[in-house]
C-alpha cells in the first residue's frame, strides 16, 4: 500500500491573494475544492501534512469502515466497487481516496502549517503560514475537530516502563510489549482496538465509558440501511431531539470487521476480557475506576434496543415483510463493581488512551468561538462574513464530516460563498452608480 497521495503541488502565486483559502486537505477540504473548481473560483488548499494524511497515518492495521461502502459518496466520486454492502479495509479506503484526489486535482500546498487567520478592517483575511503570508476574500476551515488527543494528567505518574499510546498511534497487537494491555475508553476506537487485541489472544483490561452501541444487522438488513430508509441521515441538527447537544455525543460502537458484526463487551468479558468502569485516578500504585460498569453496559444495551425498536416501528408502519426482531438479553453480568486495580501484579505493559480529542482553533483570531473553543455557525457559515467551517461532527446532519454527507455540506458552503460574492458585487455596483 502506498502512503503517497496524488495531489497537485501548487506554487503560491506572487501576490499571495486568492478568492478562497481552504485550510485542511482531508476529504472535507478536497470536497470544497471540487465545487470551487466547478464554479471557476480560484483557490488554494493548505495542508499541514499531506492530503488525507489521517487516513494513511493515524489508523491501525486492521481498521475498516463501520458504515457500508455504499455510503462512500464523495462529490463526483461515489463508491464503484462490487461490494456496496461491505466495509472497506484501510488499504481499500486509501485507494478510494487516491482516486478521489486524482479526480479532483486540487491546488494543494502540502506540509504547510497555518499560524494565524485574521480578518482585516477592509474585510480581507490575512493568513500567515510556514510558507509565507497569504490573503483571501474567504477562508474555509476544513481541518476537522479532532486535533489534540485527550490524555489525563494521571498519565504523567505512570511507571516509565509502561508503554503509552493514543488511539491514533496504535497499529497492531504485535507492536506492543508482551503483557496485558489497558484500553481506556469504549467508543468506536476503544471498542474496536480492544476487539483487535482480544482476537489476537492478548490479555485486555478495558475501562468502559458511557459510549452507546448499536446492532450491525437487524431483521435481515444492516441497521444503516434501515436508518437510511427512515431518513435519519437526512435529519438536520436543529431537528434532532438533542439539537446542538448531539455534537457532543460519543459515536456508537459497532464494527465492519469480517463482513460486519456487533461489538458485545459482555461477550468479551465472558471470554476473559477484564471490564471496569470509567478510569478516574492513579493513587498509591492503584488504578481507580468509577463504580459504573453495570450502568454503562446497561445504558449501551438500552440504546441498542431502542434503535432496534424504532426499526420495528418503521417496519410495522410501512407494512414491510421482514424477519422477526427481538430484544438483546445480556450474556454476562458483572459479578461486582471492581473499582481498584494494583498496577504491580496486574501485568499491564501498555496503555492505549481512547478517550477522544479536543478541537484546537487557537490559530483563528475571530470572535466566533464559544467557551469550549467550538465555533458558532449555521451549516458551517459563521457570523463573521467570509469565514466558514466544514467537516465538523453534525455540522448539518449525521453525515457531516463523513464520506456520506460531506458533499452536501461542501456544495452548500460553496453556494454560500458565491451568494456572498454576488451580494458584494451588487453593493459595489449600487455605490458606484
Verify that 340 and 233 share a domain, yes or no: yes
Contact 189, 208 (CB under 8 A): no
Residue 358, pLDDT > 90, answer no
Verify that 322 and 405 share a domain, yes or no: no
Q: What does the pLDDT read at residue 12?
A: 65
Contact 139, 21 (CB under 8 A): yes
Helix residue ranges per DSSP H, 285-405: 293-318
Verify that 166 and 307 share a domain, yes or no: yes
Length, in residues, of the chain: 433
Verify that 193 and 338 share a domain, yes or no: yes
Given 353, 373, 392, which residue is the final one in a domain? 353
Q: Is 1 among the domain residues? A: no
Task: Write out pLDDT tens, residues 201-248.
Answer: 999 999 999 999 999 999 999 999 999 999 999 998 888 887 777 677
Q: What is the pTM of this model?
A: 0.93
Verify that 371 and 325 share a domain, yes or no: no
Q: What does the pLDDT read at residue 1?
A: 34
Verify that 21 and 117 share a domain, yes or no: yes
Verify that 60 and 196 share a domain, yes or no: no
Verify that 157 and 139 share a domain, yes or no: no
Give whole-number Cα distances, 328 to 264, 344, 372, 423, in Å.
10, 37, 37, 56
Verify that 346 and 372 share a domain, yes or no: no
Domain CATH code at residue 427: 3.50.50.60
Q: Average pLDDT of 74-83?
A: 96
DSSP strands (E only) in 245-361: 274-276, 279-283, 286-289, 340-342, 348-353, 357-358
Verify that 131 and 175 share a domain, yes or no: no
- Full residue range of the structural domain in which residue 270 is found: 150-353
Q: What does the pLDDT read at residue 5?
A: 44
Residue 184, pLDDT > 50, answer yes
Residue 141, pLDDT > 60, answer yes
Q: Is 225 among the domain residues? A: yes
Given 353, 376, 396, which residue is the final one in a domain? 353
Given 333, 353, 373, which residue is the final one in a domain? 353
Percent of the chain with pLDDT over 90: 83
Residue 84, pLDDT > 90, answer yes
Closest C-alpha to 66, from 227, 175, 220, 199: 227
Report residue 177 CA to chain centroid gap.
Answer: 28
Task: Write out pLDDT tens, residues 264-321.
Answer: 999 999 999 999 999 999 999 999 999 999 999 999 999 999 999 999 999 999 999 9
Verify that 164 and 223 share a domain, yes or no: yes
Within 10 A of 96 (CB to CB), how many other CB atoms are there?
Answer: 22
Neighbour-count burial of 2, counting CB atoms closer than 10 A to its CB (0-12 exposed, 13-18 middle, 19+ buried)? exposed
Verify that 383 and 400 share a domain, yes or no: yes
pLDDT band at 379 (very low <50, low <70, confident <90, very high): very high
Q: Is 2 among the domain residues? A: no
Q: Are strands 387-389 and 132-141 parallel, antiparallel or unpaired?
A: parallel
Q: Count the domains in the chain.
A: 2
Q: Is 228 among the domain residues? A: yes
Closest C-alpha to 51, from 103, 16, 4: 4
Q: What does the pLDDT read at residue 429?
A: 76
Q: Is 3 among the domain residues? A: no
Percent of the chain with pLDDT over 70: 96
Amino acid at each position: 500500500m502506498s502512503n503517497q497521495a496524488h495531489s497537485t503541488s501548487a506554487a503560491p502565486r506572487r501576490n499571495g491573494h486568492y478568492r478562497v483559502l481552504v485550510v485542511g486537505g482531508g476529504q472535507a477540504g478536497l470536497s470544497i475544492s471540487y465545487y470551487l473548481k466547478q464554479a471557476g473560483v480560484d483557490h488554494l488548499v493548505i495542508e499541514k501534512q499531506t492530503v488525507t494524511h489521517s487516513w494513511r497515518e493515524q489508523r491501525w492495521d486492521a481498521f475498516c469502515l463501520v458504515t457500508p461502502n455504499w455510503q462512500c459518496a464523495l462529490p463526483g466520486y461515489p463508491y464503484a466497487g462490487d461490494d456496496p454492502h461491505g466495509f472497506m479495509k484501510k488499504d481499500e479506503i486509501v485507494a478510494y481516496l487516491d482516486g478521489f484526489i486524482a479526480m479532483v486535482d486540487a491546488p494543494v500546498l502540502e506540509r504547510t502549517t497555518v499560524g494565524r487567520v485574521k480578518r482585516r478592517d477592509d474585510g480581507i483575511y490575512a493568513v500567515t503560514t510556514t510558507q509565507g503570508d497569504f490573503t483571501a476574500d474567504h477562508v474555509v476551515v476544513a481541518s476537522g475537530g479532532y486535533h489534540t488527543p485527550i490524555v489525563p494528567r494521571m498519565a504523567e505518574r505512570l511507571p516509565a516502563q509502561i508503554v503509552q499510546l493514543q488511539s491514533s498511534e496504535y497499529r497492531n497487537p504485535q507492536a506492543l510489549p508482551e503483557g496485558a494491555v489497558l484500553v481506556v475508553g469504549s467508543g468506536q476506537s476503544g471498542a474496536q482496538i480492544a476487539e483487535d487485541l482480544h482476537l489476537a489472544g492478548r490479555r485486555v483490561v478495558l475501562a468502559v465509558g458511557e459510549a452507546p452501541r448499536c446492532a450491525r444487522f437487524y431483521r435481515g438488513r444492516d441497521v444503516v440501511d434501515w436508518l437510511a430508509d427512515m431518513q435519519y441521515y437526512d435529519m438536520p441538527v436543529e431537528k434532532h431531539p438533542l439539537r446542538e447537544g448531539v455534537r457532543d455525543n460519543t459515536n456508537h460502537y459497532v464494527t465492519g470487521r469480517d463482513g460486519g458484526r456487533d461489538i458485545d463487551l459482555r461477550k468479551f468479558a465472558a471470554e476473559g476480557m477484564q471490564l471496569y468502569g470509567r478510569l478516574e485516578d492513579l493513587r498509591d500504585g492503584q488504578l481507580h475506576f468509577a463504580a459504573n460498569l453495570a450502568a454503562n453496559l446497561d445504558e449501551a444495551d438500552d440504546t441498542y434496543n431502542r434503535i432496534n425498536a424504532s426499526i420495528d416501528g418503521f417496519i410495522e408502519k410501512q407494512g414491510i415483510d421482514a424477519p422477526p426482531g427481538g430484544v438483546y438479553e445480556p450474556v454476562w453480568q458483572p459479578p461486582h463493581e471492581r473499582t481498584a486495580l494494583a498496577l504491580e501484579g496486574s501485568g499491564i505493559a501498555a496503555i492505549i488512551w481512547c478517550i477522544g480529542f479536543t478541537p484546537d482553533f487557537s490559530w483563528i483570531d475571530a470572535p466566533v468561538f464559544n467557551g469550549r473553543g467550538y465555533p458558532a455557525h449555521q451549516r458551517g457559515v459563521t457570523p463573521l462574513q467570509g469565514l466558514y467551517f466544514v467537516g465538523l461532527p453534525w455540522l448539518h446532519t449525521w453525515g457531516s464530516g463523513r464520506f456520506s454527507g460531506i458533499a452536501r455540506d461542501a456544495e452548500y458552503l460553496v453556494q454560500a460563498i458565491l451568494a456572498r460574492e454576488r451580494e458584494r458585487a451588487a453593493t459595489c455596483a449600487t455605490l458606484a452608480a
